[in-house]
Amino acid sequence: MVEIVPAILAKSREELIGKLQTLDGIVKRVQIDVMDGKFVPNRTILPEEFGKIDTKLKMEQHLMVENSIEHIRKLKGNAWMVIIHLECCEKNVEEALEEIRKIGAKAGIALNPETPIEKILPYLDKIDMVLVMTVTPGFQRQGMVKEALEKVRVIRKIKPKMEIEVDGGINKHTISEAAKAGATVFAAGSAVFGSEDMKKAVEELERTAREAQ
């Protein structure tokens, strides 16, 4: 399985809706980056500012925020999946996962390049997906930290059928290595939105990843 998930950074509701519309018919799933300016320096539109988003796309909400539980509760119908960061809710992971289930969404946990993989192992049976960050979260156009792909390899051995997403520095040159490591889902921002033809860019990424698996 290979799925390319365009990563959306939006500062306003209008920008978010516009980007969702441009992807309609190109992909089935998107990642919406939610940043509070605290856990990461940048700030995007927050769940309470979304309003009800009318889209057929499955929305994967990537919470790069300090108070994950507060933001989860405000997502309501705008989340097909919610991804929390282990680094900002390590003391209440179980509670955060429970809140995700309450809103009827799938649950994922993300971990930064420097976070030891041992910290996520106790939760692998309680989540639907692991998101391995291959850049420091909060900034665009960073090079991939390829050492982080070792976490993908380890998780793939432990959980052969688990959905593993890689986020950071994904492009036509790096996606092969991530696919070979065992990733099946690939968040791509600049590689999609920075292209002249987004549909063609997504298709090329998919093809390259499949050939590498």
Return d(Cα 3, Cα 61) in angstroms, integer: 16
The answer to whether the beta carbons of residues 194 and 20 sit under 8 Å apart is no
- Its pTM stands at 0.95
- 127-141 pLDDT, tens per residue? 999 999 999 886 666
Return d(Cα 78, Cα 74) in angstroms, integer: 9
Q: What is the pLDDT of residue 89?
A: 86
> Domain residues for 157?
3-212
- CATH number where 14 lies: 3.20.20.70
Return d(Cα 170, Cα 3) in angstroms, integer: 13
Q: What mean pLDDT is reported for the chain?
A: 94
Task: Give the sign of the dihedral formed by CA 10, CA 61, CA 207, CA 55.
Answer: negative
> Which one-letter amino acid corresponds to residue 188?
A
Domain count of the chain? Answer: 1
Q: Tell me, yes or no, if 197 is annotated catalytic.
A: no
Q: Choosing from 125, 128, 167, 197, which is the catalytic residue?
A: 167
Q: Choosing from 33, 54, 128, 197, which is the catalytic residue?
A: 33
Q: Tell me, yes or no, if 54 is annotated catalytic.
A: no
Enumerate residue ranges in the chain where pLDDT < 50.
none
Alpha-helical regions (H) of 24-54: 47-50
